[in-house]
Amino acid sequence: MEWSTSSAGTPQEKHDVFLSFRGEDTRYTFTGHLHATLTRLQVNTYIDYNLQRGEEISSSLLKAIEDAKLSVVVFSKNYGNSKWCLDELVKILECRKMRGQIVLPVFYDVDPSHVRNQTGTYAEAFAKHEELLQGQMEKLQKWREALREAANYSGWDCSVNRMESELIEKIANDVLEKLNRVYVGDLDQQIAKLEQLAKLQHQFYKKICSVENLKKHRATVERLTELKMERSVRMLRLSPDMLSHLENSKDTDNYLDL
């Protein structure tokens, strides 16, 4: 599990998900509960519990965003007040463009249109930013564009009439499904095509029974078995060290076979 500890702390394990949120709004409520649910589902998630923040986003946090395959952005009433959160969002969208990172917006106790158009509490936040950051219009514009872009992505609106625990469960499972597609999406396509091929080969063999046709069918089935095994291993989301151990074990077995 990925944890952010003290201001001097560094990431301890590789993570798949980065949580961006306004601490004073959701740290001990929605985001905390979402993090716990993701942990239960064995989704390695980076959450920053550091309460002491400087003016600039830390290099370790930037690295944590870069390393994630998916970022959950929890927009709340005061998210736009935080320069730190807005810088996180800009970095997350940069990773989406450069690395293909998945971005999942969640709107908690805030209207998505307020985020998209910087109205309501977001208008108030930007009025303060403009006052404090005079002469830094480029930075302000980046923040505005990032909010507009992120708010247009498909996500979750928590204002709908349902229990929060049910909603969190659905969001966590959505994250898990999206991660699974990242890990095994390419294999699923190959497996689907080979299953179709195996079916056709079997039909062809029944019509023209020959050793050659049987060998072709068996080769396809064998390849299918290998791909399904690889899919199962990927779904475990093993660490590089564990994968290295598997490769070493395979090399040892090959040597013993000799």
> How much is the CA Rg of the chain, to the nearest whole Å?
24
Q: How far apart, in whole angstroms, are the C-alpha atoms of residue 154 and residue 152?
A: 7
Residue among 23, 153, 16, 133 nearest 85 (CA)? 23
For this structure, is 24 an active site residue? Answer: no
Which residue among 2, 66, 88, 145 is the active-site one?
A: 88
Amino acid at 171: I
Q: How far apart, in whole angstroms, are the C-alpha atoms of residue 146 and residue 186?
A: 30
CB 3 within 8 A of CB 49: yes
HEC assignment per residue over 54-116: CCCCCHHHHHHHHHCCEEEEEECCCHHHCHHHHHHHHHHHHHHHHHCCEEEEEECCCCHHHHH
Q: Catalytic residue numbers?
A: 88
